[in-house]
Structure 1
Amino acid sequence: MQQIDVLQEKVRGLPDAPGVYLFRDGRGHVLYIGKALSLKKRVSSYFTEAPDVPERSQIRIMMEQVADLEFIITANELEALILESNLIKSHKPRYNIALKDDKHYPFLKLDLKEPFPWVQVVRRIKDDGALYYGPYVPTTAMWDVLALVNKTIPLRKCRSIEGRRLCLEYHLGRCAGPCEGLIDGPAYGELVDQARLLLEGKDQDLTQRLAKQMRQAAEALQFEQAAKYRDQIASLRQVFERQRIISPRGENQDIFGLAAEGGEAQIQLFLIRRGRLIGRETFTFELKAETAGDLLSSLIKQFYLGARDIPQEILLSHPLEDAPLITAWLDSRANRRVQLLVPRRGRKVRLVQLAMTNAQEALALSLRSSQSRAQALKELQEVLDLPAPPRRIEAYDISNISGTLAVGSQVVWEDGKPKKSAYKRYKIKTVQGPDDFAMLAEVVRRRLNKAEEMPLPDLILLDGGRGQLNAALGVVRELGLHSLPMVSLAKEEELVFQPSRSTPIALPERSRARQLLQQIRDESHRFAITYHRALRGKSAIRSLLDDVPGIGAKRRRALLTQFGSLRRLREASIEELRHAAGISESLATTIHDVVGAVSV
């Protein structure tokens, strides 16, 4: 009661000024971050009683957990918006709308301050004066562009050219050889200009430029050089002809279309550059108490927080309540005018409708999948006689070769979907020799000993038959968790074993429950095998590197950390080996030769 009084006292003392507020729970975790033109009025509204409508009920659930309040005053509402976006990205509060993957979209960087610039992939933008192109959505779009640049423009590929010699890239015609002075600064600058035109989407300008150079080379009887220009032009046309022409006017636009139903929302983003559709991304959100405008507003702020390539027009399917404020923020980030539009007629509204149609299709597919998952969990409840559908299922498997490099896996599925952030890997510590039952018992024991740190599952699934089930069952009884549901699923016949049944259950082949159990079991097996192979690869490298003079424990550890597998080590260049282990070129060459002689 005293804590509630302290919180209400804080609310009454809030200033009537713009700023950002943070709600925290009893453990200090941030639950929600918001901005306000008036902190006093906005925060006070959360403590005001209102009719029991869905929006208020969701807020009430959050407010029941709020134990503390912080606020930061800003000079104006625009500063509050910028601070709110950065804090949400940093804290990832539970009740804020957030991009599920929190992914850093890739950019291509061209640093003109270097004597011989090159195109490199980066995930974060720095204020270093270099040119950044992107973000590329999806990531495959970036790799396509980079492949085109590398194929048509012979810029250097090495991180550094100091002390380098001509490599394979030069002999393949993909590098002009600046490391050995085979191209001077002005000629290399022409290649950089070509790369800039390509990265900026000015393919027609680049094609015309190359065509002119091809004619000049032909007139000068430099037929080999003219043929190279001809091949460049052909490659450019081949790639750009595959891109769909959206607008003959050649605008740069981002288009957001939203569809929402049944507690879920899907947003489709189309990226159009110079009139071409170059990328598309789908965002999925769980709806709480947000309107369509709230959702779009939050997505736009997060998406453009780290992006430099903000187009002149952003077309939206729904209006934003704080559109003028977001527009001002986008203007400041782009250093030019950016328009936020909700078109009502003409060609632009048809583009938004196209994005909305794709969002509706994605939503319908997701909802069908959600219903199928719910049916599978309900069927599992009935077949296994569980008190409720098993929302959280944990599956375990063991992988080893005759007891060596033995590992265990734990995968977690919630509401019929994998929760990869909760996956865990175990190195077997207490079992010597090939005893899969004892290894499984160790893994289950180590997991259940941490029951206070993570919630117990509604169902444990083991990869195997009656033997695996009995091994884990002994651990459960030892720890006094007699009511914890547990089953095993045997391969081939796909029989389900339960502790309370003497005969296994044979689920129909088309049973959703069977398909779900198979999917989870196979995922636990895949996760265990992947970990085991990684350890085998590191073990093979360690054994191999033991025979190389000059490679001690520290350098061996650096190579293991950097490459992780024999195949990756084999594919590494001498320069990459030098950089990873901090060794001389001669020692890197020795490693390269030793590893290259081993078959993978």
Structure 2
Amino acid sequence: MPTPLSQIPPGNNPLADLPIDLPADSPIDSLAQRIANLPTSSGVYQYFDHKNRLLYIGKAKNLKNRIKSYFKLSPTEVAPNPKTSPRIQMMVSQIAFIQTILVQNEQDALILENSLIKQLKPKYNILLRDDKTYPYIYIDMSEDFPTPAITRKIIKKKAIKYFGPYTTGAKEILESLYELLPLVQKKSCAGGKKACLFYQIKRCPAPCEGKITPQAYHATINETIALIQNKNKLIALLEAKMLSLSEMMRFEEATIYRDRIKKLGGIESFSQIDLKKLYDLDVFALVSEGKNAILIKLFMREGKIVSSNFEHLKSECGFDENSIYKQAIINHYQEEVPLPPSQILLPHIGVPEDMVELQDFLLQKTGKKIPILSPQKGEKKDLISLAFKNAKEILRLQSNRSYAEDMLLSDLKDLLELASVPYRFEVFDTSHHAGTNPVGAMVVYENMDFIKDAYRRYNLSTQDEYSQMREMLLRRVGDFANNPPPHLWVIDGGKAQINLAKEILESSASNVEVIGIAKEKIDTKAHRAKGSAKDTLYTLNTSFSLKPSDKRLQFLQKLRDEAHRYAITYHRQKKQKDMQKVSILEQKGIGKASVKKLLDFFGSFEAIDNASPEELEQVLGKRVGLCD
């Protein structure tokens, strides 16, 4: 049996702050008896197969009625309900037992369901990872000399004007505004006493010396707002600046503008959309084909699409559109946003009960009623058609690009006897020198790319490699609630490390598989010759070697080598900083032997810095002056 949710470590338990009732496991002999004894209250249900693997997580206002709807019950058998989709029937045919979690109300069930899907990643639930809060540009119009800035949260003032959300390019827009217009460069400038360099290069109007009035400055702010709202005009000004720099042979500066223009042109296909009515709308649309799907999001404010984003989803088990739209809305609005829409548009409304619950959720999070609509005609219907058109084109490009890798990943699944195709990888490695400066690194790979924003570095405290790997993996598992797990862990190591990782994963009940890749040893040293290294692959049940020319081995080596590069780079950075600290201590009259004594006793330079003179004297047997 998986570890009960009540036993998940506190930092990794999404149930910790919810008023729930976890019923004790009852000795029910059959699935039919379990269904017959289900509670009728609100809650979350979990389906498991005969190998105790989590298949699906759902929520219900009435657990008994909802779960019974999946089945066709008779005195002689429990079968999938033939009225459900083939995907659901396939899932139900694998159910061996059911667990339920009772909650006090439907809102708790909605939030708990979403949290558990992220943390436990069941086979038949689609996990959406794009749950970050997008940035907004804001201006405090109550100030005499306001300046545009970026925020992801609501500013607690009355005269704040927001623009966005921006899925990309917010920083580039802000930098461009400050370079193209004579804006006050810093908030502190308005209260200064003397004009600075920015005034001399005509980048600031110098309100500090009274060279501009608030009324005149507000004309500049109006121009700023006009550029924020008209991306094409902003890009045109940047292009003119780039050409001017090129003509002056200042190519490095021109390249900066070229890259900025490219970043701001990310939603060029929507730039001509300008509705007569000043709608504030968020549009979600899902397009799927085979094992691939694209979820696209359009954000319209005051009748113009200000930004868009998409998420590439992969699944061997099909796509439940209603669940994906529901999860996307919860992810996007789980934190209070500065500029919420007046309406949310979907291509179709799935389960009406779910939409009502989502609207209640939005009211709770935003403080305003936000209808979720599926328009059948007019401009709003055209917006959904536009979203579909773009999602289909993105899916076509992504599918063509990923075909070869999808085949490779499918071969890996068969080779390693994995339960499902691994689409997202987390790869772990550690680095140290004779036990000093131990660090860990995690790199992430998905959709044919290393996802560098998802990389993580770990300062480790233990000395041996086994303990270092344990420390790092425990910390990663502890973050599953905030950063959902992948499909597969790739560990730099062999059987011992695989067993360690599996033990740690079982403590979280997360649906993650593990493999190891151990470097070939020549004269007790790791052999890294590209194209010829005979590394060994490990699973829980076996180990084997592939030919160096095998594409599957080369793919895993590429992942392992990137984790090694990231780990050793961080280790060298730490080592360099410590060498600088040793040099400083030596300059203060403390020799290398004394430095080693201090490090052996205190464990780190930070602890040495925080130690009192008496503690230092106790270790070294003499008075030292580290605070000089």
**TM-score range, shorter-chain basis?**
0.5 to 0.7
**Which letter maps to 2:500?**
K
Which of these residues, 447, 450, 462, is aligned with residue 500 of structure 2?
A: 450
User: Which ranges of structure 2 fall in alignment gaps of 5 or more residues?
Assistant: 1-22, 74-78, 235-259, 466-490, 507-511, 589-601, 610-628
**Which letter maps to 2:339?**
D
Q: Given that residues 412 and 419 in structure 1 are in contact (C-alpha distance below 8 angstroms), is that contact kept between their aligned partners in structure 2? A: yes
Deviation at 1:154, TM superposition (A): 4.0
Map 1:77-476 to 2 at 5 A: 80=106, 86-87=111-112, 92=118, 94=121, 98-112=127-141, 116-125=145-154, 127-129=156-158, 131=160, 133-140=162-169, 142-158=170-186, 160=188, 166-179=195-208, 182-196=211-225, 198-199=227-228, 201=229, 244-247=271-274, 249=276, 251-252=278-279, 253-274=281-302, 276-285=304-313, 291-305=320-334, 306-312=336-342, 314-322=344-352, 333=366, 335=368, 340-344=373-377, 349-367=381-399, 372-377=404-409, 409=441, 425=458, 447=497, 450-451=500-501, 452-454=503-505, 459-462=515-518, 465-467=520-522
User: Which ranges of structure 1 fall in alignment gaps of 5 or more residues?
Assistant: 74-79, 207-234, 433-440, 473-487, 561-600
Q: Identify the range of structure 1 (399-408 vs 526-535) with the bigger mean alpha-carbon deviation.
A: 399-408
Which of these residues, 479, 488, 496, is aligned with residue 534 of structure 2?
A: 496
SS class of match (2:404): helix
Change (3 A) 1:411 1:283: closer
Change (3 A) 1:541 1:47: farther
1:3 corresponds to 2:25: yes
Q: Given that residues 296 and 310 in structure 2 are in contact (C-alpha distance below 8 angstroms), is that contact kept between their aligned partners in structure 1? A: yes
Q: Given that residues 391 and 414 in structure 1 are in contact (C-alpha distance below 8 angstroms), is that contact kept between their aligned partners in structure 2? A: no
Deviation at 1:524, TM superposition (A): 1.9
Q: Which has the higher contact order (CA 8 A, sep 6+)?
A: 2
Q: Given that residues 251 and 273 in structure 1 are in contact (C-alpha distance below 8 angstroms), is that contact kept between their aligned partners in structure 2? A: yes
Mapped partners of 1:25, 1:501: distance in 2: 32
Q: Given that residues 349 and 373 in structure 2 are in contact (C-alpha distance below 8 angstroms), is that contact kept between their aligned partners in structure 1? A: no
Q: Given that residues 493 and 516 in structure 2 are in contact (C-alpha distance below 8 angstroms), is that contact kept between their aligned partners in structure 1? A: no
Change (3 A) 1:541 1:86: farther
Change (3 A) 1:411 1:390: farther
Q: Given that residues 58 and 289 in structure 1 are in contact (C-alpha distance below 8 angstroms), is that contact kept between their aligned partners in structure 2? A: no
RMSD value over aligned CA atoms?
Answer: 5.7
Deviation at 1:360, TM superposition (A): 2.9
Deviation at 1:331, TM superposition (A): 7.8
1:512 match: 551
2:247 match: none
Deviation at 1:282, TM superposition (A): 0.7
Identity of aligned residues (%): 24
1:34 corresponds to 2:59: yes
Q: Given that residues 395 and 461 in structure 1 are in contact (C-alpha distance below 8 angstroms), is that contact kept between their aligned partners in structure 2? A: no
Residues paired across the two proteins, number? 476
Change (3 A) 1:154 1:40: farther
Over residues 88-143 of structure 1, what are the superposed CA-to-partner deviations in whole Å (9 max), with x where a residue is unaligned? 66664545655313212112233445564433222233555463635534222x22
Over residues 435-480 of structure 1, what are the superposed CA-to-partner deviations in whole Å (9 max), with x where a residue is unaligned? xxxxxx99879946734214797643346x5338x568xxxxxxxx
SS class of match (1:309): coil
Q: Given that residues 256 and 317 in structure 1 are in contact (C-alpha distance below 8 angstroms), is that contact kept between their aligned partners in structure 2? A: yes
Change (3 A) 1:25 1:535: farther
Deviation at 1:298, TM superposition (A): 3.3
Q: TM-score, normalised by structure 2?
A: 0.57
Mapped partners of 1:368, 1:321: distance in 2: 33
**Which letter maps to 2:552?**
A
1:70 corresponds to 2:102: yes
Q: Given that residues 284 and 298 in structure 2 are in contact (C-alpha distance below 8 angstroms), is that contact kept between their aligned partners in structure 1? A: yes
Q: TM-score, normalised by structure 1?
A: 0.59
Q: Given that residues 435 and 463 in structure 2 are in contact (C-alpha distance below 8 angstroms), is that contact kept between their aligned partners in structure 1? A: no
Map 1:579-598 to 2 at 5 A: none
SS class of match (1:3): coil
